[in-house]
Every structure is written in structure tokens, then in C-alpha cells.
């Protein structure tokens, strides 16, 4: 146990991290930027292990108030047709919509028509965790520290945060298509804004896959992920083999996805072939994924779904500055699922692990969240201090045999876009 909550911090990185240049003309690299950005990790000593940090994250729901205006987007990809909701951070307002999360209302058509600018303000696009939304405390702590000088929005997964499902296309652990559309929309509407990504838990897995799928074409200037499960098969098997994993965490997540199903009962019955009554009788997340995602997306087994959706290989294909924050005592996104060696191969990526923190916990003694400060510092560095054009360093991760007869493509399962 770390003494009085003082967690150890470790960086995993390539032997030669990505070379960068500061706006004052001085040379630096990605590792130095991360080392300068990451604050000491002094957590609440009463929450002295990952289970307590994770439990407290479900109990402690207070966070800085963030106000949003929502716009529903129509998917521009026929294969992934349907709608999804994006919540834009705005100044406080007095309106109330009882059908949406707190402090959230819809944009009027006239208001949204006026959206767009030639300004150079940095734009952050956020992905939440499983069945969550823009209201989540772990997310609002980060947004609160970036309000000054930034424009921010949260992409809500389909059916989450009071949004409606409008087709048979549901989101899954590899659902990068809606995020990709939002990034492209921002590039069109705000052509001068540098774009950044931030993802949490399952949203972190999605964001990692997106960055890997886009590779050198990625429109983001940099990205941060927090508590990414990375290898979903390893995570699932690790949870299934322990009593607390199977009967506490997987059951708790099973209840969460059942609640998601209940909130979308009418739409699920209208648009999909999912057996609603069967879902109401499942007990774990694994059972839900077997009945929903395997049958919806055509996976023969739940573990084939987990392997396909995992983002561990995607780390090798990332070509933008990329920081992953992870607690090694995370009882959900377990340490054995972290692709340490992949991070050590890619100069564009840095893995920062803390010895304490749990799953999206990182509670400090005063109730603040350590990860929010780390996220703020890193993103501010790239928004206001670092010049980066995506071409400062290149690398090739295809692993070839001595006879040049085989090669490894980390994105062989890339989603069709």
C-alpha cells in the first residue's frame, strides 16, 4: 500500500519519443511534455485501494455544474444510419428541460444555424464511459478546469443521456463512426480550430480505435484517454475468474446496461430484433453483450466481439501525440490488459500509470480528481505551447519476418468508414 495515498507515477514510452517544438523555438519531446504536465498523485488515504476508489466514484456524484445545449445529428454514413446527440458546453442559462439531464436544453434551429466561426480557440471533443453521458462527474471535473480558453462538446452514444435511438444501429465498444462525423463537422464549421480528443473508459477504447483507424489522416492535434480497458477479452476473463469481478463488477455493469435498455424500451422494440424480456433477465454485462452485441453485429461468440473491439493493437497505429492515464489497481480495466509493449514501440504515445486510483477514481483528499489536472495540463501544453504538424516524426509498425513473407497490420480489423 502506498503511504498516505501518495501514488507512484510511471511512464511507459518509446526509446525515442516524438520530437516536438515549442512556440518559443525550443526543442522538446512528447515524454518531456508529459512529465511536465503530470502533477504529483496524492490521493485520499482513506480510499487506499482500487476497489475503494472505484466504489467512491459511484457514490460521489457531485461535480462542478456544466451547462449544455444539445443538437441531434443525423448520421452521414448509410451503414451506420440513425441519429446521435452532441452536447455543447455553454454559459449558464435558466431554461429547464425535464426530459434531458440536468442543465441541458436543446439548441433552437436559429441558434444552431449561427454556430460556426473562423476563431482559433482549441476545441475538445469528449467521449463518455459505458451508458454514461455528458452529465458524468468524472467528465465534468475535466471540463470545469478547461472552461477558460476552450470550446468543448460531448458526443453522447446512441440512446445515452436522454437521447433517442432512431434505427437498428446501436453503439458498441468499437463505435467510432459518430465521433468521426463530429470531428469532420468541426473541421468544416471551425476550420481554424485545433481539435483535441478526450475519452473515458469505454469511450477511451473508442477514441483509441478512432486514432488508430485514422492514422496519419487523423484530424486531432492530440488525444488523452483515461481508464481505457484496452483488451476487452482479457478484462472480461479477469473479471469472470474472481468472485468480486463476477458477482460485483460484472453484475453492477449488467444492471447499468439493463437500465439503458429500459430507458430505450420503446425504440429497441420498434427498431431492433433484440429480445427485450430476455435482456431484463440477464445478470451480468457478459450476458448482455452475448445477447445484444453478438446478435446485432454478427459475432459468433462474445469473446470474438471483445477481441474485435479491443483497442490494444490500435496503439501501434496512432500518429498523433497520445497520452493514456491508467491506475494499475483499476479493478475493472485491469493491469494485465494494458498493452505496455505497444506503448514502448510507438513514439507518438505515452502511457502514464499510477499505483493508486481505481477505475475513473483518482480522488484527492479535498474531493478533487487528479486525472482532471493531468488532462488539463497536457491539453493546455498542446493547445498553447507546442507547435506540431503531424509530420515531425514518422514510423512504421509493420513487423516483417526475415524472409519478408509476413507483416503485422495493427489495423487489420479497421472499421469501414
Q: Of all helices (H) and strands (E), which one includes residue 12?
A: strand 9-13
Select from 246, 254, 257 the least CA-distant residue to 331. Answer: 246
Within 10 angstroms of residue 139's Cβ, the number of other Cβ atoms is: 27
CA 218, CA 76: separation in Å to the nearest integer?
Answer: 18
d(CA 90, CA 86): 12
> Catalytic residue at 313?
no
Cell of 196: 483535441
**Straight-line distance from the first to the last Cα atom of the chain, in angstroms, rounded to the nearest whole number:** 46
Neighbouring-strand partners of residue 11? 352
Q: What SS3 state is found at 14?
A: coil
Query: Which of these is catalytic: 37, 151, 157, 201?
Result: 201
List the catalytic residue out of 87, 178, 329, 330. 330
If you search the block for the grid coordinates 482479457, which residue do you land on?
Answer: 234
* Assigned C-alpha cell, 152: 468543448
Q: Any idea what DSSP says for residue 413?
A: T
Angle at 312 between CA 39 and CA 369, to 5 degrees: 25
The residues pairing with 105 across neighbouring beta strands, listed in sequence order, are: 69
DSSP 309-375: H--TGGGGG--S-EEEEEETT-SSS-GGGS-HHHHHH-TTEEEEEESS-TTTT-B-TTS-BHHHHHH
| C-alpha grid cell, residue 377 | 495540463
Chain centroid to Cα 281, Å, comes to 29
Residues 6+ apart with CB under 8 A from 26: none
CA dihedral 276, 181, 311, 250 (to 10 degrees): -30
What percent helix, strand, coil does the chain show, rounded to 5? Answer: 40, 20, 45
Q: Find, among 281, 416, 389, 395, the residue nearest to 346 by Cα.
A: 395
Task: Clarify whether 330 is annotated catalytic.
Answer: yes
- Which member of 128, 293, 326, 359 is catalytic? 359
Collapse the DSSP code of 152 into the 3-class scheme (helix H, G, I; strand E, B; otherwise coil) and give the result.
Answer: strand
Active site residues: 201, 330, 359
Amino acid at each position: 500500500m502506498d503511504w498516505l495515498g501518495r501514488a507512484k507515477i510511471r511512464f511507459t514510452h518509446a526509446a525515442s519519443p516524438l520530437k516536438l517544438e515549442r512556440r518559443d523555438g525550443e526543442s522538446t519531446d512528447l515524454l518531456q511534455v508529459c512529465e511536465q504536465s503530470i502533477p504529483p498523485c496524492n490521493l485520499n488515504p482513506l480510499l487506499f485501494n482500487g476497489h475503494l476508489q472505484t466504489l467512491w466514484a459511484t457514490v460521489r456524484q457531485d461535480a462542478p455544474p456544466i451547462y449544455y445545449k444539445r443538437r441531434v445529428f443525423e448520421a452521414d454514413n448509410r451503414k451506420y444510419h440513425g441519429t446521435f446527440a452532441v452536447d455543447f458546453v455553454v454559459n449558464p442559462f435558466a431554461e429547464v428541460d425535464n426530459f434531458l439531464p440536468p442543465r441541458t436544453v436543446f439548441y433552437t434551429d436559429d441558434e444552431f444555424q449561427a454556430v460556426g466561426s473562423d476563431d482559433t480557440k482549441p476545441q475538445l471533443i469528449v467521449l463518455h464511459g459505458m451508458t454514461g453521458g455528458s452529465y458524468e462527474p468524472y467528465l465534468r471535473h475535466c471540463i470545469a478546469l478547461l472552461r477558460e480558453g476552450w470550446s468543448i462538446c460531448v458526443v453522447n452514444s446512441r440512446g445515452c443521456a436522454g437521447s433517442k435511438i432512431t434505427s437498428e444501429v446501436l453503439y458498441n465498444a468499437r463505435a467510432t463512426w459518430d465521433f468521426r462525423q463530429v470531428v469532420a463537422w468541426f473541421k468544416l464549421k471551425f476550420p481554424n480550430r485545433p481539435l483535441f480528443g478526450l475519452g473515458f473508459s469505454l469511450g477511451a477504447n473508442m477514441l483509441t480505435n478512432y486514432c488508430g483507424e485514422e492514422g496519419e489522416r487523423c484530424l486531432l492535434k492530440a488525444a488523452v484517454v483515461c481508464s481505457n480497458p484496452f483488451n476487452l477479452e482479457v478484462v472480461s476473463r479477469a473479471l469472470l475468474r474472481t468472485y468480486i469481478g463476477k458477482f460485483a463488477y460484472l453484475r453492477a455493469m449488467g444492471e447499468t446496461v439493463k437500465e439503458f435498455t429500459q430507458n430505450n424500451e420503446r425504440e429497441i422494440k420498434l427498431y431492433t430484433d433484440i429480445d427485450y424480456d430476455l435482456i431484463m433477465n440477464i445478470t451480468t454485462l457478459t450476458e448482455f453483450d452475448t445477447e445484444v452485441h453478438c446478435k446485432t453485429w454478427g459475432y459468433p461468440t462474445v469473446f470474438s466481439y471483445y477481441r474485435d473491439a479491443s483497442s490494444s493493437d490500435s496503439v501501434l497505429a496512432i500518429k498523433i501525440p497520445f497520452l493514456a492515464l491508467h491506475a494499475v489497481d483499476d479493478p475493472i480495466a485491469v493491469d494485465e490488459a494494458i498493452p505496455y509493449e505497444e506503448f514502448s514501440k510507438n513514439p507518438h504515445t505515452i502511457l502514464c500509470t499510477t499505483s493508486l486510483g481505481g477505475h475513473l477514481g483518482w480522488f484527492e483528499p479535498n474531493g478533487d480528481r487528479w486525472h482532471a489536472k493531468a488532462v488539463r495540463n497536457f491539453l493546455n501544453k498542446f493547445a498553447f505551447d507546442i507547435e506540431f504538424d503531424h509530420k515531425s516524426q514518422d514510423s512504421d509498425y509493420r513487423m516483417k519476418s526475415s524472409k519478408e513473407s509476413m507483416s503485422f497490420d495493427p489495423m487489420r480489423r479497421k472499421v469501414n468508414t
